[in-house]
Amino acid sequence: MTVRVGVIGGGQLARMMIAPAVELGLDLRVLAEDEGMSARLAATAVGDYRDLDTVRAFVRDVDVVTFDHEHVPQEVLRALVADGVRVHPGPDALQYAQDKLVMRARLAELGVPQPDWAPVDDAGELQRFIDDHGGGAVVKTPRGGYDGKGVRVVRAGGEADDWFAGLAEGEALLAEELVSFTRELAQQIARRPGGQMVAYPVVETVQRDGVCAEVIAPAPGAGARVQEVAERIGLSIAEGIGVTGMLAVELFETDDERLLVNELAMRPHNSGHWSQDGAVTGQFEQHLRAVADLPLGHPEPRSPWTVMVNILGGPEQGALEDRFASAMSEHPGAKIHTYGKSPRPGRKVGHVNVTGDELDDVVYTARAAAARFL
């Protein structure tokens, strides 16, 4: 009676669930968008995750459903739940990762610290928000943004006119104050359906061009207070919105040592990739344990430091294998994870994890190994 876990979406997150699924003895089945996706080894169906019939046919042969991404429409998710399918995270939780306005409103109810925000539905409202918040704002499309897409820093109400023009009746954009932050952190939480939760150490994330470039675990210099606050925020959100599986909470750390919630992700997240090699239980294994309702594993780090550096596709196509061999040869202690994607400039095609006792050495080695792919 092997538990069959169905993953909707065939990207690298689904791919990275394959290894722990094999070791845990779970039967992983993936509904991929196309042939040849990252998670092709476990793909049992190819089709459109927005189409209820396609998704219904896929879930017929699984015991529990989870996700590679947060884009499955609420109608589809709610129909599955009505069919009696176990869906983790469920639609009630996922809506907060799907719509940033809904998320902001819920975090306010939960009393979780976050930047000042407001829905704005035209340039005039945006201008008033800017005037009230020191002459600038971050504008976000509530839905569909990722890796810096759908996010814009503005100084005038007219700088989001193209987005306002695209809004349907009753829709709004999200305006947020420009937070003066010293760095970005991320807190990972895992939660089982019954409520069991574990918290990972808070990590520092370094973004470049709106894309996560590097993660240091644990966050250097984060004392017990910062860890405790980050953990409390993460646990409150996971509990408050009923997440099942992994939750990533992206946080700003401000000049005055406050932590403010930036974004949420309800799945394994780039800021948690370090845990594959750096924690007793990696986030992909933990996500599977949580969604299959198995006891959670220890989230503790296995080394004083782990650094993750993303591998981005370089300007040249095709030579990825040679660059792998070079990185492996120069850095035999680096753990290289590949996504089975053809490289394109700026596209994430893998990541490197390095662990060790001395942060300087670990950062240097992780960057040097990843740089072999440029």
Which residues are near a second copy by CB under 8 A? Answer: 1-3, 15-16, 18-20, 22-25, 41-42, 280-281, 289, 294-298, 300, 302-303, 318, 321, 324-325, 328-329, 332-333, 335-340, 350, 355
Task: Report the residue number, 94 or 197, with the smaller CB distance to a second copy.
Answer: 197
Dihedrals phi, psi of 245, to nearest 5 degrees? 100, -155
d(CA 317, CA 313): 8
Task: Report the residue number, 236 or 338, with the smaller CB distance to a second copy.
Answer: 338
Nearest distance, CB of residue 187 and a second copy, angstroms: 19
Task: Report the residue number, 79 or 296, with the smaller CB distance to a second copy.
Answer: 296
Task: Report the residue number, 108 or 325, with the smaller CB distance to a second copy.
Answer: 325
Nearest distance, CB of residue 319 and a second copy, angstroms: 9
Nearest distance, CB of residue 60 and a second copy, angstroms: 20
Dihedrals phi, psi of 352, to nearest 5 degrees? -120, 135
Nearest distance, CB of residue 30 and a second copy, angstroms: 11
Nearest to 130 by CA among 162, 173, 178, 165: 178
Nearest to 238 by CA among 295, 292, 297, 198: 198
Unique residue bearing structure tokens 């394959």 = 18
d(CA 321, CA 347): 16
Measure CA 130 to chain center.
29
Write out the two tokens for 161: 């006119």
Contact between residue 216 and residue 207 where contact means Cβ atoms under 8 Å apart: no
Task: Report the residue number, 240 or 356, with the smaller CB distance to a second copy.
Answer: 356
Enclosing H/E stretch for 229: helix 224-241
d(CA 126, CA 138): 10
Task: Report the residue number, 149 or 298, with the smaller CB distance to a second copy.
Answer: 298
Nearest distance, CB of residue 327 and a second copy, angstroms: 9
Task: Report the residue number, 223 or 295, with the smaller CB distance to a second copy.
Answer: 295
Nearest distance, CB of residue 295 and a second copy, angstroms: 4
- DSSP category for residue 301: B
Nearest distance, CB of residue 52 and a second copy, angstroms: 28
Write out the two tokens for 337: 């994870």
Q: Using DSSP, how many helices (H) and how many strands (E) does the chain show?
A: 12, 17
d(CA 142, CA 118): 11
